């Protein structure tokens, strides 16, 4: 009996050079085909046996499985194909596909054609190197010396518990195929996700015909009337219908300040240095001009722009933002706008870059981009043809230590383009248009870069900070002409829609006060810690306390980071309706650029290391038109020293001139001792359990790591080897000291469970439903009571701070 085979497509899309817009005037789009095998496909059906004919898998006539529209494209399950009348036989460990009736089961030559040659897979294996990832992220992110403990005790893989659901998406698919094939498809899926392809949320996986698209775009999806509702865009700048449709679809009825100022200048061909608050729409300020070029040249094949970002998450986010804005182009060619970051197979990315019509706009981290172009000089020639170069979060990209990679990229591209300096530090007419954007252009970040004239520039008191930074940048970046400075946030301060506050506590009580804040002010909260160990510990602590908590830090694999971000988003939206907190605990890998909707609070568990970091961390709330709260937890000693310094940098010149004290601007959150005391005991137990959990995980990892290292070296591990290494031995003893016995863990978990069942009461109040200062019955009826503290009114940190501010005035 022949079976029905099912295979998964690369997100239902593929690369069909033959059908790419480049050769068809942009009219046709990639045909949906899958390349499931690394084997070079045969053009002809192979010789058969008495039961059927052995057929190469890529020659089979797969049929698309229709999946209901209501299903999300989560994990790429929209790309299923099936075939009848084919058996799988394992011969010499390899799968053979036996077709009973080759006429029915095999594609006609015109269907199979040369496509597979075009996208022939090389036997490249998976290049993911966890250690390499770590190094990359150490460069760009926040790892501190010693944070990793034993040699990658954390590896690049997250703790077992966290990894469980990071399992291969494909496992649920009923596939009669070789495991190897499945893992290849998994890789493909990762690449498609890496390229930001899933951004086409909810859209059909099979692109529609052009006519159909017109109907969709102008009929169902975008009300043509809406376009008339965008006079605030059209009166200020000339934009294509495609761009206006994108804006209309996202309900962006007017440009933000930075967009209104920067887009017309960019469309006029100016190089730009742009500064605006966090969450003020800088992505589209540089993105729209680049997309306009793509709209005008949809059938072309040369790359239009490269956007560099300092972190992978940001690169993915910018990709999705751009794809969403250019949704109709993205529908036709999902590979026109792609991201290029570390953490996933470089070979897959390299292959995709070679196709005409693909990768017209690239959003990349500098490390991976440099690696790719240095492996293939042809790519240097290709990318030197760009019209636009963007540095998002430019100050971070150009920061000490990171500039080298970027400098090398500039040199490679400049040389290939044969750029000639026309005037001092300007490449008039020969270069690309450069746009650099950030919320901060702090002098602190540049002053570590060694330049001969930097000190002199720093003394020039008449020039403002942006001018000085620009003078410096002019020596580093190949601008076409002197960039126009667009500074819509000249005071360089925290976004005006963010209410700031302080919580003072002992350094050892940060966990407890975080728990307190989350309990009293539930909502979507992003907590920033300075050390990865603190992220892990707090995540474990809050999870034991029953709070929906997720973590993201730079020693996690890229896949897990993206997954956790996604899970946090999902959980936040369901918890919101129940008045429950949802927490994302992050290292500074999440401080810049991330645009997570509806973050109500940012909590600085540790004081940020600089004012810029504080501005970026706080800027994860109050995105777009929203308001938000940023709270710093600090000890009394910190308030005297580092905090004072931080506030001094943040206070505007006018405030300083008026002798205004920062304490007046930043209120201390009042703590209700009655509530806090009820949280203390449960917090203490959660703390013990969290320490035990982390110590146990870490010891297991250390042991695994040592064993693997010994296996790799082909030596047998002597149980005394560890104790010979003093640091390892000390670490081990320290961790063992935090471990609990199995029974102890069980007892504590039981105790905690009982405690968590008990409701928290305001002022330890016991009963009196209608008596006392708060009428509980009233609260119940009017729904004015707190979701988790009996006798407490509903609270909102933002409202509280606003009222507080009014009272202080
Ligand atoms: N014209 C607009 N009207 C309303 N919302 C907008 C507009 N442009 C962008 N947004 C939204 O504002 C939010 C912030 O945009 P974006 O991420 O570009 O900010 P940013 O200035 O780059 O922030 P950061 O400095 O933190 O990186 C996004 O959710 C985006 O969709």
pLDDT digits (tens, 9 = 90+) for 456-503: 444 445 456 677 777 777 777 878 888 899 998 776 578 889 999 999
Tens digits of residue pLDDT in 294-322: 999 988 889 999 999 998 889 999 999 99
Tokens of 790: 């009996």
**Nearest-atom index, ligand 1, CA of 595:** 17
Quickly count: other Cβ atoms within 10 Å of residue 484's Cβ.
Answer: 17
Compute the distance from residue 161 Cα to the ligand 1 centre, in Å.
34
Does 563 score more than 50 pLDDT? Answer: yes
Pick the residue with more confidence: 271 or 766? 271
Percentage above 70 pLDDT, the chain = 62
pLDDT of residue 347 exceeding 80, the answer is yes
- Most confident residue range from 220-224, 287-291, 357-361, 605-609: 287-291
pLDDT at 48: 38
Residue nearest to atom 27 of ligand 1 (CA): 593
Q: Look up the CATH superfamily of 236-487.
A: P-loop containing nucleotide triphosphate hydrolases (3.40.50.300)
Q: 424-462 pLDDT, tens per residue?
A: 555 556 689 999 999 988 655 544 443 434 444 444 454
Calculate how far, in angstroms, residue 785's C-alpha sits from the geometric centre of ligand 1: 34
Q: What is the pLDDT of residue 371?
A: 94
Lowest average pLDDT, out of 154-168, 183-197, 363-377, 536-550, goes to: 154-168
707 vs 217, residue with greater confidence: 707
In the prediction, which pLDDT does 420 show? 61
Using CA atoms, how far apart are residues 448 and 32, in angstroms rounded to an integer?
Answer: 51
Q: 369: which DSSP letter?
A: H
Kindly give, in sequence order, each residue whose CB lies less than 8 Å from that of residue 649, ignoring residues fewer than 6 positions away. Answer: 610, 611
Taking the centre of ligand 1 as the mean of its atom positions, its distance from the CA of residue 280, in whole angstroms, is: 5
* Model pLDDT, residue 29: 32
Residue nearest atom 11 in ligand 1 by C-alpha distance: 624
Q: Which residue has the higher pLDDT, 98 or 765?
A: 98
At a CB cut-off of 8 Å and minimum separation 6, what does 531 contact? 144, 147, 587, 606
| ipTM higher than the 0.90 cut | yes
Residue with tokens 């009166």: 235
Instruction: Look at residue 273 and give its three-state secondary structure.
Output: strand
The pLDDT score that the predictor gives to residue 469 is: 73
pLDDT tens-digit readout, 38-47: 333 333 333 3
- Cα separation, 83 vs 67, whole angstroms: 16
Structure tokens at 320: 């999705």
User: Is the pLDDT assigned to residue 174 strictly greater than 50?
Assistant: no
Residue identified by tokens 């219908």 is 241
pLDDT, tens digit, for every residue of 331-341? 999 999 999 99
User: For the chain, what is the mean pLDDT?
Assistant: 72
CA dihedral 483, 486, 491, 497 (to 10 degrees): -140
pLDDT for residue 306: 97
Instruction: For the chain, give every residue range classified as CATH 3.40.50.300.
Output: 236-487, 492-653+665-671
Q: Look at residue 436 in the predicted model and tell me its pLDDT.
A: 93
Q: Which two tokens stand for residue 81?
A: 């194909």
pLDDT, position 270 = 94
Label residue 519 by pLDDT band (50, 70, 90): very high
Handedness of CA 702, 708, 709, 710 (dihedral sign): positive
Over residues 167-189, mean pLDDT: 31
CA separation, residue 234 to residues 16, 238, 247 (Å): 37, 6, 11
**Ligand 1 neighbours by CB, cut-off 6 Å:** 252, 255-256, 259, 276, 278-284, 439, 593, 595, 619, 623-624
The CATH architecture assigned to 492-653+665-671 reads 3-Layer(aba) Sandwich (3.40)
If one compares 681 and 146, the residue with the highest pLDDT of the two is 681
Beta-carbon count within 10 A of 628 CB: 25
- Rounded to 5 degrees, φ, ψ at 601 are -130, 140
Q: Which of residues 703 and 744 earns the better pLDDT score?
A: 744
Report how far ligand 1's centroid is from the alpha carbon of 806 (Å): 29
Residue 270 Cα to ligand 1 middle (Å): 22
- Cα angle 330, 332, 338 (rounded to 5 degrees) comes to 40
User: Which two structure tokens, joined as six digits, stand for 560?
Assistant: 């897990």
């Amino acid at each position: 009996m022949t079976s029905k085979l099912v295979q998964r497509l690369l997100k239902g899309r593929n690369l069909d050079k033959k059908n790419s817009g480049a050769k068809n005037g942009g009219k046709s789009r990639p045909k949906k085909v899958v390349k499931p095998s690394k084997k070079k496909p045969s053009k002809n059906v192979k010789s058969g046996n008495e039961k059927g004919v052995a057929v190469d898998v890529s020659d089979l006539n797969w049929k698309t499985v229709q999946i209901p529209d209501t299903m999300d494209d989560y994990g790429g399950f929209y790309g299923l194909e099936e075939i009848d009348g084919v058996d799988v036989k394992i011969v010499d460990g390899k799968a053979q596909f036996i077709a009973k009736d080759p006429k029915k089961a095999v594609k006609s030559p015109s269907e199979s054609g040369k496509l597979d040659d075009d996208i022939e897979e090389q036997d490249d294996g998976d290049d993911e190197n966890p250690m390499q990832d770590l190094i990359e992220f150490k460069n760009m992110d926040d790892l501190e010396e010693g944070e990793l403990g034993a040699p990658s005790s954390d590896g690049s893989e997250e703790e077992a518990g966290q990894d469980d659901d990071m399992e291969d998406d494909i496992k649920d698919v009923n596939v009669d195929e070789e495991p190897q094939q499945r893992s290849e498809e998994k890789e493909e899926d990762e690449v498609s996700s890496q390229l930001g392809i899933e951004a086409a949320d909810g859209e059909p996986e099979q692109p529609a015909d052009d006519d159909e698209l017109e109907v969709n775009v102008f009929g169902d999806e975008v009300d043509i009337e809406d376009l008339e509702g965008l006079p605030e865009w059209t009166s200020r700048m000339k934009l294509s219908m495609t761009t206006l449709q994108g804006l209309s679809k996202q309900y962006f009825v007017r440009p933000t300040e930075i967009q209104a100022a920067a887009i017309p200048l960019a469309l006029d061909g100016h190089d730009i240095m742009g500064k605006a608050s966090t969450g003020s729409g800088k992505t589209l300020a540089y993105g729209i001009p680049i997309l306009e070029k793509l709209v005008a040249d949809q059938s072309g094949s040369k790359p239009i722009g490269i956007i560099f970002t300092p972190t992978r998450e940001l690169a993915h986010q910018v990709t999705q933002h751009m794809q969403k804005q250019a949704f109709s182009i993205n529908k036709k060619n999902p590979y026109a706008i792609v991201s290029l970051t570390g953490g996933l197979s470089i070979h897959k990315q390299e292959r995709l870059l070679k196709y005409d019509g693909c990768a017209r706009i690239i959003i990349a981290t500098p490390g991976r981009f440099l690696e790719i172009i240095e492996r293939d000089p042809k790519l240097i020639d290709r990318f030197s043809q760009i019209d636009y170069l963007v540095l998002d979060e430019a100050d971070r990209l150009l920061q000490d230590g990171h500039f080298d990679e970027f400098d090398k990229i500039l040199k490679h591209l400049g040389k290939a383009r044969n750029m000639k300096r026309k005037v001092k530090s300007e490449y008039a007419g020969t270069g690309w248009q450069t746009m650099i954007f950030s919320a901060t252009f702090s002098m602190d970040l540049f002053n570590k870069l060694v330049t001969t004239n930097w000190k002199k520039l720093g003394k020039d008191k008449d020039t403002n900070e942006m001018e000085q930074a620009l003078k410096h940048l002019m020596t580093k970046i190949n601008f076409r002409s002197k960039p126009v400075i667009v500074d819509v946030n000249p005071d360089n301060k925290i976004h005006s829609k963010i209410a700031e506050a302080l919580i003072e506590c002992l350094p050892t009580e940060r966990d407890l006060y975080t728990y307190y804040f989350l309990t009293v002010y539930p909502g979507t909260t992003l907590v920033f810690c300075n050390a990865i160990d603190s992220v892990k510990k707090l995540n474990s602590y809050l999870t034991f306390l029953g709070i929906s908590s997720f973590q993201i830090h730079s020693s996690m694999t890229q896949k897990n980071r993206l997954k956790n971000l996604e899970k946090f988003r999902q959980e936040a939206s369901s918890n919101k309706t129940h008045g429950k907190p949802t927490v994302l605990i992050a290292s500074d890998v999440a401080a810049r650029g991330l645009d997570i909707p509806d973050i109500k609070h940012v909590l600085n568990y540790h004081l940020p290391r600089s004012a810029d970091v504080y501005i970026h961390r706080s800027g994860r709330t109050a995105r777009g038109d929203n308001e938000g709260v940023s709270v710093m937890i600090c000890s009394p000693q910190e308030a005297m020293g580092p905090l004072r310094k931080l506030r001094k940098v943040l206070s505007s010149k006018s405030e300083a001139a008026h002798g205004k004290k920062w304490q007046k601007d930043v209120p201390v959150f009042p703590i209700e001792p009655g509530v806090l005391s009820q949280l203390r005991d449960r917090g203490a137990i959660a703390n013990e359990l969290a320490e035990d959990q982390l110590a146990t995980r870490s010891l297991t990892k250390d042991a695994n790591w040592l064993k693997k290292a010994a296996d790799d070296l082909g030596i047998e591990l002597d149980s005394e080897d560890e104790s010979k290494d003093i640091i390892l031995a000390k670490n081990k003893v320290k961790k063992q000291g935090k471990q609990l016995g199995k029974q102890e863990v069980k007892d504590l978990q039981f105790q905690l469970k009982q405690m968590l069942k008990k409701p928290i009461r305001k002022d330890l109040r016991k009963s009196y439903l209608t008596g006392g200062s708060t009428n509980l019955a009233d609260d119940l009826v009017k729904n004015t009571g707190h979701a988790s503290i009996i006798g407490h009114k509903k609270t909102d940190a933002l409202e509280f701070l606003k009222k507080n501010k009014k009272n202080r005035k």
